[in-house]
Chain A
Amino acid sequence: MPANNNLIKELVNKYGRDRTSLMPILQGVVEQNNFISDMDMTEIAKELDLSAAQVFGTATFYSFLDTIPRGRFVIRVCKTIICDMHGKKMILQTLENLLKIKVGETTQDKKFTLLETNCLGWCHKGPSMLINHDVYSELTAETVHEIIAEYMHK
C-alpha cells in the first residue's frame, strides 16, 4: 500500500518534527485511513528522524492506533464488567449476525470492522459501543439494528 505522503507532510507541518508530535501524527493518519500502514510508518519515521521500529513500537502500544487495515466504520463494543453484565454478549452477537463477521474481522466491502474494547466510561448506560468517535449507549438488539441500518447508508 503506498504511503499517504501528502497527508503525512501536512500533519508534520501542522504538529512539527519533534517526537512529541508522534501521537498527533499517528492519530491524524488513523483519522483519515482508519489504520497506519507500514509505508506510512516509514514515512513518519523519516520525517521525525526516528527508526521505523520505534514508530511501530509506539503505534502498537495503543489500541486505537490500528496497524492493520480497518473498515470505514470501526465498531468497538465495550467488554468491561458492567457492560458485560448488561448484555454485551447479546449486542456482540447481534452485530456479528448483522455484519456477518466475527470480532476482529472487517466486512468484505471494507465498511465495518467489529472489535471489542475496554471500559468506555458509559457503565451507567451499558451496554455501549463506539462507532469511530461516536458513542452509543443503552444498547438493545433493536437499537443496534437501527444504528447499523443508518451506517449502512452512509
Chain B
Amino acid sequence: MSEFVKRVDLIFGEYSDQKYKTLEKIVSRPNDDIIKDILDSGLRGRGGAGFPTAMKWKFAMEQPGDEKYVICNADEGEPGTFKDREILTQVPRKVFAGMAICGKVIGAKKGYIYLRGEYHYLLPGLLKEIDVYNTFAKELGIDFAIEIRMGSGAYICGEESALFESMEGKRGEPRNKPPYPTVSGYLNKPTVINNVETFVNVLMICRIGPVKYKKLGTRDSRGSKVFSVSGDTPIAGIYELELGMPLEKFVEEFGDGDTKAVQVGGASGFCVPRKKFKDTIIGFEGVPTGGSMMIFNSSRSMYNVLHNYLDFFEEESCGQCTPCRVGCQQLRKGIEAIKSGDKPVTYLDQLIKLSETMKITAKCGLGQSVANSFSSIVTNFKEEMIY
C-alpha cells in the first residue's frame, strides 16, 4: 500500500471483545465521559450522511422518558456496499457492545438490528451471537437486550424514518423531519439509529481513547473507514483504510490501470472522472462515502451506468413524494430520449435542472441524492449521453 492509502485494523482486528470485557469496563463509566470521548474523537456516522455521533446520542440522552430505543441500521442496500455484512459476520460482538454502550448512555433498554432481507443467511449465526450477548449482559448486569428485525427487500428502509415505519409494520415511507429520531423515532420514542460500523467505532474509541483514535484520518474525517471496493479492479473486496486519502492514490492502489471513473458512495454518491482524481479527497471534506467505491474502466459506457442507477431509483423510491417518484422516471426517460434523438441535446440541461429541484425538494435522502450521480455523470460524460 502507498503511504496515502493506509490500511488499518481497527474494526476487524485489534481485539475482538470475545468476553465483553471492554464493554464491562465501559459501562461503569459516567455517561458524560463516554459522550465526551466520542465527541473528542470527531466520529461521524458511517452510513453516509456523516452526522456527528456524539451529538445524536446527546440529544437522545437529554430526552425525558424511559422508553427509548437503539437501532442498528443493517439495511445495507447502497449499490456497491457490502461492508456491514462483513462486519456482522466477522465481529458481531463489537457491534452489540457498541449498541449496549449507546443503550446505557441514552437510557434505552432495548436494541434492534434491522437486517436487510437479502442477508437472511446471516440470521442463524447472528441469533446465536445475540444469545451469547444476552447471557453476558445478564451476568454483567447490563439491562439492554438486543433483537433482530428483518427487512424484506426495500432499499428505502435504510432511510432511518422509513426503517422505523417498516419496523412498525407499515410501508417504508420516510417521515417528515422534524421531529428527528432522537426525539421521535421508533414507536415515536427517542431513538438513536446508527450504522453497523458506527457502533464498532464507538466501542473502539472507548477502548483505545479518543487521542489515539484521532491520529487516524484527517481533521474533518477522523478514524478509519471500511471500504467496499468493486468494479474494474483486480482486487475487489473489503478494505479498512484511513479516511482522507486522495482518490488518485486510491485508484493507483485499486484500479486496473485504465480507470475512467470512480463512483464514490454508491448510486446515490458522486461519479468522479479521471481528470478529477487528483483533487478529490475521500472524506467529509471532499467526497464522503458510506464505503462504496465502484471503479469503471474505459470500456464501460457511462450512459449504461447512469441508466442502471436510474432504473434502480425508479424502483426503489418509495413513491410518496412527487419529485422523487416522477423525477426518477423523467430522468430515465429523458436520457433515453436524448440517446435516441427524440429529444435535443439541450434537454440535458433541463434534466440537470430537474435533478437540482429533486435535490432541494425531495422528502428524504433518496430523492435528494439522485442528483449527485445524475449531474456528476451527465456533466462529466456528456458526449457518452448523446452518442
Contact = CB atoms under 8 A, between A and B. Distances in A.
Interface string A19-49: 1111110110010000000000000000010
Interface string A105-147: 0000000000001111111111000100111000000000000
Interface in B162-209: 166-172, 187
B127 to A, nearest CB: 14
Given A62-B153, A81-B267, A124-B230, A119 B79 contact: yes
Contacts of A118: 77, 79, 153, 155, 312, 315-316
A27 B169 contact: no
A63 interface: yes
Interface residues of B, number: 50
Contacts of B52: none
A124 B228 contact: yes
Given A63-B152, A63-B154, A81-B305, A19 B117 contact: no
Contacts of B250: none
B81 interface: yes
Contact of B309 (A61, A81, A133): A81
Contacts of A135: 121
Contacts of A65: 152-153
B236 A123 contact: yes
Contacts of B172: 61-62
A152 interface: no
A23 B119 CA distance: 16
B300 interface: yes
Interface string B291-311: 000101000100011001101
Nearest to A84: B308
B333 interface: no
A58 B81 contact: no
Nearest to B319: A61
A61 B117 CA distance: 13
A30 B150 CA distance: 13
Interface size class of A (residues with CB under 8 A): 35 or more
A23 B308 contact: no
Contacts of B312: 80, 118-119
B36 interface: no
B154 A62 contact: yes
B300 A121 contact: no
B149 interface: yes
Nearest to B150: A27
Interface string B67-99: 000000000111111100100000000000000
Contacts of A134: 121
Interface in B195-243: 228-232, 236-238
Contacts of A27: 117, 150, 152
B120 A23 contact: no
Given A61-B172, A82-B231, A130-B118, 6 more contacts: A27-B117, A27-B150, A30-B152, A84-B304, A123-B230, A126-B230
Shortest Cβ-Cβ A-B pairs, 4 listed: A22-B169, A63-B153, A124-B236, A123-B230
19 contacts: A19-B168, A23-B152, A23-B166, A27-B152, A61-B171, A62-B152, A80-B79, A80-B267, A81-B294, A84-B304, A118-B153, A118-B312, A119-B79, A119-B155, A121-B77, A121-B85, A121-B116, A121-B119, A130-B118
Interface of A: 18-24, 26-27, 30, 48, 57-58, 61-65, 79-82, 84-85, 117-126, 130, 133-135
